[in-house]
Amino acid sequence: MNWLIIGLGGSLGAISRYLIGEHLKSYSKALPLATLFVNAVGSFIFGLILKISLDSDWQPFYLFLTGGFLGSFTTFSTFSFESITIVRQKKIITAFAYIGLHILVVMIMITLGFFYVS
């Protein structure tokens, strides 16, 4: 039954990421902000879930959100692809700024999510 819970969450996460990506595509030509946005939001939600799951036992909902929804909503592979694409365009400083910004933002967001529940 866990596979069904994860699959349902994954479907909803992938659809959500696609819709957000399509909506945010037109806002920035210099940096792929849609990926940064979904990873930041996903990290915040994961921080919330992490804190709550330490205090309770709700495995089906945890699997639905983390293994399913957030697993397909957030995307490291797209972030990696976009970073390499920027490097291949010979925009080295932009690439490193994007990578650094991405790491900084997702770490801040997961921390904020974790402590928001406290």
Residue-level pLDDT at 118: 73
Residue-level pLDDT at 9: 97
Residue-level pLDDT at 55: 67
Q: pLDDT tens digits for the chain (118 residues)?
A: 899 999 999 999 999 999 999 999 888 777 889 999 999 999 999 999 988 887 677 778 888 999 999 999 999 999 999 999 999 999 999 999 999 999 999 999 999 999 998 7
7 is in an annotated binding site: no
Residue spans of the domains in the chain: they are 2-117
Q: What is the dihedral of CA 45, 47, 52, 57, to 10 degrees?
A: 90
71 is in an annotated binding site: yes
CA–CA distance, 71 with 78 (Å, rounded to integer) = 13
Q: Which residue's entry shows tokens 């925009």? A: 91
The crossing angle, in degrees rounded to 10, of helices 76-88 and 92-117 is 160
Residue-level pLDDT at 28: 78
